[in-house]
Amino acid sequence: MEMQGRKLLIGDVLRRASEATPDAPAACVGAPDRGYATRTYSELERDANRLALALRSELDIGHGDRILVWADTSIEVLPLFVAVAKLGAVFAPLNARLGAKEAGEVAALARGSLLIVDSARAAAASELANAADLDRWALLPVGDEGRANASVDRGDDSKRLVLDATALPDPGVPIEEPLLEETDPHVIFFTSGSTGRPKGVVLSHRANWLRGFQGVFRDEPERTVCMFPLFHMAAFTLAIAAWQTRGEITYTDSSAEALLASCEARRANRLYGLPLVWKRIVEADVGKYDLSSLVQLDSGTSATPVELLERMRGCFPHAKIRIYYGSTEVGSATALPDEDVLRKPGSVGYASVNVDVRLDEDGEILVRSPYLMDGYFDDTAATAAAFENGWFRMGDLGAVDAEGYLSIVGRKKEILRTGGESVSPNEVESVLRDCPGVAEVAIVGLPDPEWGEVLCAAVVPMPGANPTLVGLRDHCEGRLAGFKKPRRIAILEALPRTAATSQVQRTLLVEEIQTRGLAKGEAD
């Protein structure tokens, strides 16, 4: 136990907080108009220990087992996240917006030991379990209605365990895995690959602990309102950051009203939003909320226009603004502090604490830090391609000014970022190729102040055909998640291709679409 205390383990963050401030609120999910579900630190620790005991004793889950979790944001997900960490198992959340078929393709890559689904996805759990080659799954009941429905007779479904923390026995002592090391895998987050094949980003306890570390000298606990769903890395990083200060994380939807009302109701002092969310916020009636507690405003993922930053400053004159640049693989790479956000428009700042950043000969951004991922799960080729002597290749092209501030000037990788989500063009193209009336198609990203990028389908129609954006999106229904569907269409006579390999020249394609004003968005 003495050695265990020296390790940077995620389960210990909650254990220590529950011992120091047992009655302080740790987590909250909801909105003022529909109420909040909350857990104190002692309740979160208690429920995590109960779930850990059930997983260990009933399903023999332990060190190294990969636990696939297909669930949307709910208070019940958080103790499960902690329980899996305590057991030394690996938490692998699946995007709740995906259907069973899409989620199954991702789940199969993880070679998991168990699938856990929430109440809303119970009907499709067997289909997903089969796709992931699993012979069992467990239900995580959500809310009073979910717990009530979970108690009914399961009939012949003996593969299902109900993980209702309120009804499980209490072990009486904290559950922990004595063989667990801080360098052991803690989570796998799935992100799109350049070939369309998802990749599993493996993060250790140590990396996640350090990503969330806020230091020990703070004026007050961090109370964060979070717009990210609980299958995104940022949702858990922000939670760990708040818990390390013995503060509170509040999850709500990404509407301006829900975020601002939650900041008022929970007396939040930190709010993180993507640029498209901040645009909604500054256009809302900010003055009707008491936001005097809000002192830190964070943004990132995509470029934040200076006009938006000026409006944020006007709406929140007493708060500091900070812009992050990073990824699931690296965490925070750089940060632009408050005093520079208007002085250095377009910049993403300088290297974050404990991070080294440099440019390769071709201008690609390379990052080295203790926050880096261990690698891509079961994909040695992709891992080797992503690293160079311990430096991670970001896939973005950068430029550094005379003061050492970094700006993003282009992209080497073909992954698109829209509204905080990663999308592989190849994956979308593979679905649209058999769309009626489409002879050729290429997916590109067009700059957008709200979404960062919007997906545009560049289409060469078949003779006599007239493909529409509505038709393309309808063709994707049930095959692609909503955020992967194109939002613009451009009709061309031919796609620009390289002479040697006939590959689509996406940079030239974007220039042609923008120069000729070809993009249309009639489905918006």
In angstroms, the CA 132 to CA 307 distance is 46
Residue 146 has pLDDT above 90, yes or no: no
- Show the DSSP H helices in 60-164 as ranges: 77-86, 100-110, 125-131, 143-150
Residue 157 has pLDDT above 70, yes or no: no
- pLDDT bin (cut points 50, 70, 90) of residue 156 is very low
In angstroms, the CA 247 to CA 172 distance is 25
Contact 486/446 with Cβ under 8 angstroms?
no
Contact 334/324 with Cβ under 8 angstroms?
yes
Tens digits of residue pLDDT in 345-401: 888 999 999 999 999 998 899 999 999 999 999 999 999 999 999 999 998 888 888
Number of Cβ within a 10 Å radius of residue 499: 6
In angstroms, the CA 487 to CA 523 distance is 7
pLDDT of residue 215: 63
Contact 136/159 with Cβ under 8 angstroms?
yes
pLDDT of residue 303: 61
Contact 161/139 with Cβ under 8 angstroms?
yes
Single-letter residue type at 48? A
In angstroms, the CA 435 to CA 189 distance is 31
**How large is the average pLDDT for residues 330-340?**
95
Tens digits of residue pLDDT in 468-517: 999 999 999 999 999 999 999 999 999 987 544 456 778 778 878 987 88
Single-letter residue type at 72? D
- pLDDT bin (cut points 50, 70, 90) of residue 4 is low
In angstroms, the CA 415 to CA 459 distance is 19
> For residue 338, what is the enclosing H or E element?
none
Sign of CA dihedral 412, 418, 419, 420: negative
Most confident of 18-22, 176-180, 362-366, 402-406: 18-22
**How large is the average pLDDT for residues 38-58?**
96
pTM higher than 0.85: no
- pLDDT bin (cut points 50, 70, 90) of residue 196 is low
In angstroms, the CA 143 to CA 84 distance is 21
Q: Whose CA is closest to 72, among 42, 40, 94?
A: 94
Contact 118/72 with Cβ under 8 angstroms?
yes
> For residue 443, what is the enclosing H or E element?
strand 438-448
Residue for token pair 């993880």: 110
Most confident of 130-139, 244-253, 339-348, 446-455: 244-253
Query: CA 296, 312, 345, 355: dihedral to nearest 10 degrees?
Result: 20
Of the listed ranges 29-38, 98-107, 152-161, 202-211, the least confidently predicted one is 152-161
Residue 457 has pLDDT above 60, yes or no: yes
Number of Cβ within a 10 Å radius of residue 512: 17
In angstroms, the CA 122 to CA 141 distance is 9
Residue 154 has pLDDT above 50, yes or no: no
Which of the two residues, 120 and 154, has the higher pLDDT score?
120
Strand boundaries in 182-293, DSSP class E: 185-191, 199-204, 223-226, 248-251, 270-272
Query: CA 403, 407, 409, 414: dihedral to nearest 10 degrees?
Result: 140
Residue 313 has pLDDT above 70, yes or no: yes
In angstroms, the CA 401 to CA 407 distance is 8
Q: Is 67 helix (H, G, I), strand (E, B) or coil?
A: strand
In angstroms, the CA 383 to CA 402 distance is 33
Residue 2 has pLDDT above 50, yes or no: no
Walk me through the domains of the chain, giving residue ranges and CATH numbers.
4-207 (3.40.50.12780), 416-516 (3.30.300.30)
Residue for token pair 């997903």: 128
In angstroms, the CA 43 to CA 381 distance is 43
Residue for token pair 């009914």: 152
In angstroms, the CA 72 to CA 230 distance is 6
- Show the DSSP H helices in 422-517 as ranges: 425-432, 469-476, 506-516
- Show the DSSP H helices in 21-141 as ranges: 41-59, 77-86, 100-110, 125-131
